[in-house]
Structures are given as C-alpha cells and as structure tokens.
C-alpha cells in the first residue's frame, strides 16, 4: 500500500530505499521509502506483502513519478529478483557500486546494496546520525515505531521486533542522499563537455562486467 505525504515537485531530487521480502502473506513485508534529498523529508512509503518481481513494478512507477529518483535495492536474497526486473523494465537511475580490478584494469558494476556484517553497521550508524542531527523528517508513525524497537545486541547484531523492513528501507534511502548529486546519477543533466563526454570521444566503448549480487552479465560502459 502506498502512502504519500508530499507529491513530487519539479527540480526536486528524490531517492528510494527498497527492502525486499518473499511476499508470503504471513512472512516479512517489503518496503520502499522515498526521501527528498535536500530536505530529508519522508515524502512517501510503499509497504506490503508482494512478490519481489511485482514489487519491482511498484518501485519502478514510484521512482519515475518522483523525478527518476535514485533507487537502491538491498541485493540480498529476494532483492536480486527485484533488481533483475527493474533492469528489465529499464529503470533509469539504479544505484550501483563500481570497482576497478587492479590486475585486469577492468571496471565492474554491482547493482544494489549488499548488506553484510560490514555494510549494515554503516547503514544503521549513518541513519542514527541523521536522526540525531534532525536531518530527517519522518511522518510515518509505523516507521517511528520500528525505529524505537530497533536494537543492537551485545554481540553486535542489529534487528527490530517484530519487523525492521521500514528501518532498513529508510537506512538505504538515507544512504542514497550522499550519492544523488553525483553526475552518474543525475539522469536529467546533459553531460556534454564533462570528462565522461571527452573520454567517450577518445576511447571506444569497452565491454565490462556488470554484477547483480553474485550474478554477472556482460555489458558496456
């Protein structure tokens, strides 16, 4: 179900964080949180039980509505299905991490955010700092409820009770606020006369490896 507090405005930049579940009626929920990048305001949320491929359709339409908002999907487990479908639909602004192979000098791309024992604390710590410094404006009372029950145990694990999908989606969306102004994610900005434009003039298109989680496919830079 979609809840909207503020409709998209021209020239505003938005970002989406997506936490994907299996879609079973008695299982975990899927969630997409939409933030206004500049104000940090929570402008919309999608939350419900839905298969991961169908979730991609909802996220795709939501991102297009919010000015091609930069979208980050957690790539663990069922998120892979959502990512594959979003790419099939032609989502214009998916978050991806690039890395350079020092031995082959080839650039690889991994779509989505892989949550690990290293990256999850980064997400949650950054979200905590944003909340404490009042950078975010949260309207959804259920999101606020999950934030109150989200804990870090003595062993270092982090989770909410009984669910934390709203928290994880919010953390992903908040993380995207620092990427949204990068040229590669500014899809509506003409890149003429930039370094990337000149690079394409002097360098032929090269084949690179694009990854979604652990799955690879061939593509071009």
What is the spatial distance between Cα 3 and Cα 44, in angstroms, rounded to a whole number?
Answer: 6
**DSSP assignment, residue 28?**
P
The domains located in the chain, with CATH, are 2-220 (3.30.420.240)
pLDDT at 52: 94
pLDDT average, residue stretch 34-53: 96
pLDDT at 108: 76
Q: Which of 9-13, 117-121, 142-146, 213-217 is predicted least confidently?
A: 213-217
Confidence grade of residue 150 (pLDDT, cut at 50, 70, 90): confident
> What share of the chain in percent tops pLDDT 70?
75
Residue of higher predicted confidence among 137 and 163: 137
179-191 confidence digits (pLDDT tens): 998 887 865 544 4
Name the average pLDDT for the chain. 82
pLDDT at 155: 54
85-96 confidence digits (pLDDT tens): 999 999 999 999
Task: Provide the sign of the torsion angle of the four alpha carbons 38, 43, 48, 53, taken in this order.
Answer: negative
pLDDT at 219: 40
Angle, helices 79-89/52-65, rounded to nearest 10 degrees: 50
What is the spatial distance between Cα 48 and Cα 63, in angstroms, rounded to a whole number?
Answer: 17
């Amino acid at each position: 179900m979609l809840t909207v507090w503020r409709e998209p405005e021209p020239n505003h930049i938005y970002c989406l964080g997506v936490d994907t579940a299996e879609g079973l009626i008695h299982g975990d929920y899927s969630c997409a949180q939409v933030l206004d990048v500049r104000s940090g305001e929570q402008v919309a949320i999608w939350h419900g039980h839905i298969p991961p491929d169908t979730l991609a359709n909802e996220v795709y339409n939501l991102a297009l509505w919010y000015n091609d908002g930069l979208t980050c999907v957690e790539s663990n487990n069922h998120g892979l299905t959502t990512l594959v479908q979003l790419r099939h639909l032609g989502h214009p602004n998916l978050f991806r991490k690039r890395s350079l192979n020092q031995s082959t000098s080839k650039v690889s791309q991994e779509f989505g955010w892989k949550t690990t024992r290293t990256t999850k604390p980064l997400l949650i710590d950054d979200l905590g700092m944003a909340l404490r410094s009042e950078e975010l404006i949260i309207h959804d009372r259920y999101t606020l409820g999950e934030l109150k029950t989200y804990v870090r145990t003595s062993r270092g694990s982090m989770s909410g009770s009984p669910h934390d999908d709203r928290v994880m989606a919010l953390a992903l969306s908040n993380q995207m606020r620092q990427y949204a102004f990068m040229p590669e994610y500014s899809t509506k900005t003409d890149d003429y006369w930039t370094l990337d434009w000149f690079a394409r003039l002097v360098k032929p298109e090269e084949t690179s490896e694009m990854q979604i989680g652990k799955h690879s496919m061939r593509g071009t830079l």
